[in-house]
A = this chain, B = another copy of it.
Amino acid sequence: MNAKVNLAEKFALLEGPYKPGIVGRLNDYKLQVVKVKGPFVWHKHDDTDDFFLVIEGKLTIQLGDRNIVLGPGELFVVPRGVEHCPTAEEETLVLLIEPDGTPNTGDAGGELSATPVEL
């Protein structure tokens, strides 16, 4: 059976910003940790919502018409089909939940596309 997950320990294993790691699964969803620093890429996921919970730092999720600013203990679900671009001035630690196989860059692709490692 799976073990408990200490998020701080998992964040320490990440190689750098936007290199996500899978820390567990909930049915067919992947539980991921990711460090955010600097702007990501504008993208959307047509088939799924996208869950962000900030563990440490400050995350800005740019949407087309407004910004969502999250501190520790704050979460936001980007609805499917909505263009968004995460960014952070300082390194920020985020728990991400989305269906297994969801590409991190959604429909955008590009150099920030990354296959999550299993942590």
- A contacts, CB < 8 Å to B: 1-8, 23-27, 29, 31, 48-49, 51, 53, 55, 63, 68-70, 73-77, 79-80, 82, 95, 97, 99
Interface of A is mostly: strand
- Chain B, Cβ-Cβ closest to A2: B77
Q: Is A75's CB under 8 angstroms from B7's CB?
A: yes
**Copies of this protein chain in the complex:** 2
Known interface pairs A49-B25, A49-B27; A68-B4 also in contact (CB < 8 Å): yes
Q: Is B2's CB under 8 angstroms from A79's CB?
A: yes
Q: How far is the CA of A25 from the CA of B69 in the complex (A)?
A: 19
Q: Is A25's CB under 8 angstroms from B77's CB?
A: yes
